[in-house]
Chain A
Amino acid sequence: DTGVSQDPRHKITKRGQNVTFRCDPISEHNRLYWYRQTLGQGPEFLTYFQNEAQLEKSRLLSDRFSAERPKGSFSTLEIQRTEQGDSAMYLCASSLEYSNQPQHFGDGTRLSIL
């Protein structure tokens, strides 16, 4: 399977703990995006990378959130000191470098904060 893959699929943790998610994009895609989706809502943009450069961050991305893509391939999203409101599906997507290219999503990581 050469689609976008995310790991883990599910994460349950206690409030206050740190969590890290991983995304592996489609191999030829230079752009990688992170979204958050809560029940009954559309995905909300968090941040995106072109190669290893993080080019945009949403106001939704508090200082507890950090994302990296050190070698321009896979990316990690870390949430520090998790809160109840962080419970959501975290989706990763990738696309070719050019504007207006289709974004292909992974299956997401579902985060539940106890």
Chain B
Amino acid sequence: GENVEQHPSTLSVQEGDSAVIKCTYSDSASNYFPWYKQELGKRPQLIIDIRSNVGEKKDQRIAVTLNKTAKHFSLHITETQPEDSAVYFCAAESSSASKIIFGSGTRLSIRP
């Protein structure tokens, strides 16, 4: 069945350094890839998304890359700040299924 794998499960970086989270997906029909940030006890919040017709998208300190051939996509956060500490989920959706399959999450901690 459809599957999204995410790693690492935990990531600790020094404030100001970059963080990278990587995901792979199994359904070759997937064509929409959102990323969500979830703080403790709060709702998942969409932070950036990418569609399969582009290979990279940036929004200030956040960027996503997509390699459809390899079925890999990644989240890059630069100049990390304490408020970036949270759990980040990658996800994949295919237009035929209309449902999102989430990865298992990465707990990102920013060290002061």
Chain A residues within CB distance 8 Å of chain B: 4, 31, 33, 40-45, 48, 55-56, 58, 91, 99-100, 102-108
A107 touches B42 (CB 8 A): yes
A99 touches B95 (CB 8 A): yes
Write 21 A-B pairs (CB below 8 A) sorted by A numbering.
A31-B98, A40-B105, A41-B105, A42-B89, A42-B91, A42-B102, A42-B104, A43-B89, A44-B102, A45-B100, A45-B101, A58-B99, A99-B93, A100-B51, A100-B93, A102-B34, A103-B34, A105-B43, A106-B43, A107-B42, A107-B43
A33–B105 CA distance with the chains assembled, in angstroms: 20
State how many angstroms separate the Cβ of B39 from the closest Cβ of chain A.
Answer: 11
Q: Which residues of A contact B104 (CB under 8 A)?
A: 40-42
CB interface residues, B 9-51, toward A, < 8 Å: 31-32, 34, 36, 42-46, 49, 51
Q: How large is the interface on B (under 10, 10 to 19, 20 to 34, 35 or more residues)?
A: 20 to 34
Main secondary structure on A side of the interface with B: loop
State how many angstroms separate the Cβ of A33 from the closest Cβ of chain B.
Answer: 7
